[in-house]
Structure 1
């Protein structure tokens, strides 16, 4: 059983559900298939069952004994797909980026090249003592992002 075969089965199933997308696929030497999916509107248990059936229906357990685990990307999982960024516009992200940058800010824009974050910070006044609140903005290219996570605030 090849990763390409399983990926093709997943992609065929996802053609019926364009709101879902593949995040990760791993197959270990014991034929344990681990699939992580996400969706533009989140992922339900039924969505995981749908993807599981799309895979299982076309694999023969008599030929290769395998186990299958289909899960959704967790709320605290790093974002790795442009569609994940798009669905999180308006939420607070913590982004670690090259060369040595760490920003926590609101995700305000996503395009094919990268993301834009906005945040406020206190900086010393240009003249005199004290601090002023300053609005900051940064455009971060996907290639520079080492890790990006949604910050869940209670």
Structure 2
């Protein structure tokens, strides 16, 4: 799963004004949807300036997140992204379960332009050519036990 969120979106809305922000947000959505299609991702839900998507493989999801970071940077905005893989519950077009919560927590911890993944994702993409920087073990709000986190290096 992939969660994305625009960094500093409220400030962008205030600075740019409603019309310009709405237009920029629509261009952001076009970038995200283009990359989801390219990487065989499935958009689950869009929440304002954020996306939740699922994929058929973790390396494809990581590469999609990196492409979204680059594509949105060209628009003059930064996103943060979190990725995790695990069991999910399908719920009428939506997904649920602890894995979704973990993914959301990772996204919230990512910095501007950063793709943050769980150790589960890192382990599953061994041999893919992707590289990571250890960010240490972190407590995730509401989730038992610390989780080891990794930032994708480009």
The two structures have a TM-score, normalised by structure 1, of 0.34
Query: Who wins on radius of gyration, i.e. which is larger?
Result: 1
Structure with greater contact order relative to length (CA < 8 Å, sep ≥ 6): 2
Structure number with the higher strand fraction is 1
Higher helix share: 2
